[in-house]
Amino acid sequence: MRQAFRTRLRVIILLVAAVSLLLITRLYFVQVVHGSDYALRAEKQYVSSSQKMYDRGSIYFTRKDGTLISAAALATGFTLAIDPMHLEDAEEAYRQITAAGVEVDYEKYMASAAKKDDPYEVIAKRVPDSVGRVISDLDLPGVVVERERWRTYPASPQASRSVGFVAYDNDNTLAGRIGLERYYNDALTHRSDGLFGNFFAELFANIDSVMVDAREAREGDIVTSIEPVVQEILDQVLLEIQAKYSSRETGGIIMDPATGEIIALEVIPSFDANNFGTEDPENFGNPLVEHTYEFGSIVKALTMAGGIDSGAVDATTIYNDTGCMTLNTKKICNYDLKARGMVPMQEVLSQSLNIGATYVALKTGHDQFREYFKQLGFGTETGVDLPSEVPGNIRNILNSPRDIEYATASFGQGIAVTPMEMVRALGALANHGAIVTPHLVRAVKLESGVTKQLSWGHKEQVYKREAVEEVTRMLVKVVDEKLGGGTVKIPEMSVAAKTGTAQIAGPGGSYYDNLYFHSFFGYFPASDPKFIILLYTREPKNVQYASETLTHPFMDLTHFLINYYAVPPDRADYESTT
């Protein structure tokens, strides 16, 4: 008898616990997850019975302290319409509507008011909340005020090419058209109408792991690694470069080389996503992943890493620099046509010598040189979470037995890659010889409120750690002694960097004599890199070398990041270990 009583008591306790959990879950969903939706539904006077409110997940930037800042969200206001059949005084209604602050074209308004057989004519959309309420309170016969929500971009034009925008597709459905809006359209599109939706499925999915594969991102808001303050500074720097040199295009990427998280990225000119209908569609693409370029001499750092890693050369190797040489009937030269005589490997990077890079590539050997570039990911997509990515073109070295193709590739000509490919490859120098997958989104906030971190795969080792440490030492020396004549050296911080100036290819395989592509990359602190920066400017006017256009912008960004993130000085520790 007593045992039966205990059993009944346990069953009752379990039922009470289950009901309590259900009520708590319901309250959580009503008040937290869908609180804003229910607040809107409470305003029945503003929503017609047939109206379905537009819904879509948000996109967030992430400040360095973890605070989320809206990059794409939903704005709420009103649609203003008239019912001509019940519009008693069109003139008076027009007067009161415009007096409330809504701009309405008089001729179009009167034409709509004359359509007595049409019960619904829209005269204004995206009317601000406060204005819409005023008009609603006027209770004008034949004037319809309905709730409306639309996509808004508080940070635009910052990173607009990468964040993207929403517009109608061929099926007359609002969908992401470019950028993250397009790449994560399925995750951002809210389809569930039920109160609980997939709450339990989301809550307990992958419960054994806090991370999910990026390709399996579920429905919700997306959280990016873009830092809004850093993004703003990068925008300013690129705009200044673009304006000063009247370049055709200027871009930049700031990335954590250890994780592949992109802190900021931009291409100028950009556009305002809030008014994309009036912008130049030419600016909607994203050259960081959609265009390929011959980057020039920054590739020499990778050539040197391959030479040292393979054992073909080391830092003490000396070669005879003849200024020019002929390979397979093609003549190649240093940028100034001058010979240096017997010089060490350091000068290949410090003086950016094409003949020196060629020496390293040919000593490394065709097969090994090609293999390094393939392992770096050149000629393949990076896997970054942006749409329309294209692979680079390294066909010149894939099957050719000729020395000339490997020579030109060694100093960044004859092969073309995207900026994203380039920053991933150069990131190996700042990440102990390993490449990672660059990405913008770090997590998805599911509709249930659960946040899932995204997994971006494993790093891939390309160079031995000792090889990239040697190249880093050489690149630090470039900054300390050569760049700006040694005037940009930071006494407390070791910075590794290299410039690149490439001729731009013309028709028929020739190169223009007066058009250049400038690039610059660097990372710091050299002892344990936290940031890698890639900058480029295309066809700058009245200037030839990247050292003139990009040195100071790079150093400005470096100083800012050091101060903003309070990066501790490493010069003493770095020099004691090199």
Query: In sequence order, which ranges of 272-418 are alpha helices (DSSP H)?
Result: 287-290, 300-310, 345-350, 354-364, 366-375, 395-398, 403-410
Q: Can you say how many angstroms the Cα of residue 148 is from the centroid of all Cα atoms in its chain? A: 30
Q: Which amino acid is at 227?
A: E
Compare 38 and 5 and report the one with higher pLDDT.
5
Residue 172: the pLDDT is: 81
Encode pLDDT of 9-44 as tens digits.
Answer: 676 777 777 766 666 666 665 555 555 555 444 443
Q: Euclidean distance between the first and final Cα of the chain, in Å?
A: 82
Strands 211-213, 451-455: parallel, antiparallel or unpaired by DSSP?
A: parallel
Question: What percent of the chain stands above pLDDT 90?
Answer: 79
Contact status, residue 536 vs residue 519, Cβ threshold 8 Å: yes
Q: What is the mean pLDDT of residues 474-479?
A: 98
pLDDT > 70? residue 213: no
- Quick one: pLDDT at residue 510? 85
Number of H helices, E strands in the chain: 22, 21
170 falls in which pLDDT band (50, 70, 90)? confident
Per-residue model confidence as pLDDT tens digits over 97-137? 999 999 999 999 999 999 999 999 999 999 999 999 999 99
Q: What is the pLDDT of residues 392-419, one digit of tens each?
A: 999 999 989 999 999 999 999 999 999 9
**Confidence band of 489 (pLDDT split at 50, 70, 90):** very high
User: Which of these ranges, 374-388, 498-512, 531-545, has the smallest mean pLDDT?
Assistant: 498-512
β-pair type (441-446, 451-455): antiparallel
The two three-digit tokens of residue 146, written as one number: 């309905």
The predicted structure's pLDDT at residue 208: 45
Find out whether 56 and 151 touch, Cβ atoms under 8 Å: yes
Residue 434 CB coordination number (10 Å): 18
The per-residue pLDDT for 3 is 64
Between these two residues, 168 and 217, which has the higher pLDDT value?
168
Q: What is the pLDDT of residues 62-85, one digit of tens each?
A: 999 999 999 999 999 999 999 999
**More confident of the two residues 20 and 496:** 496
- Could you tell me the two tokens for 550? 């990009």
pLDDT bin (cut points 50, 70, 90) of residue 575 is: confident
Average pLDDT over the chain reads 90
Q: What is the mean pLDDT of residues 256-285?
A: 96
For 533, the 3-state DSSP assignment is: strand
| DSSP reduced 3-state for 127 | strand
- Write b or e for each residue in 396-410: b if 16 or more Cβ atoms lie within 10 A of its Cβ, otherwise e: bbeebeebbbbbbbb
Whether the per-residue pLDDT at 554 is higher than 90: the answer is yes
- pLDDT per position as a tens digit, 338-388: 999 999 999 999 999 999 999 999 999 999 999 999 999 999 999 999 999
Q: Comparing C-alpha atoms, which of 169, 163, 339, 187 is closest to residue 262? A: 163
Phi-psi region of 472 (alpha: psi -120 to 50; beta: other; left: phi over 0): alpha
- 452/192 Cα distance (integer angstroms): 19
Note the pLDDT of residue 23.
Answer: 65
Could you state, in order of their start, the residue ranges of all structural domains in the chain?
Answer: 71-85+121-151, 228-438+457-577
User: Alpha carbon of 523 to those of 206, 255, 500, 526, 552: distances in Å?
Assistant: 36, 10, 15, 7, 15
- Of 22-36, 46-60, 275-289, 463-477, give the lowest mean pLDDT range: 22-36
Find tokens 């209908």 and name the residue.
Answer: 277
The DSSP code sequence of 58-116 is -EEEE-TTS-EEEEEEEEEEEEEEE-TTT-S-HHHHHHHHHHTT----HHHHHHHHT-T
Architecture per CATH, 228-438+457-577: 3-Layer(aba) Sandwich (3.40)
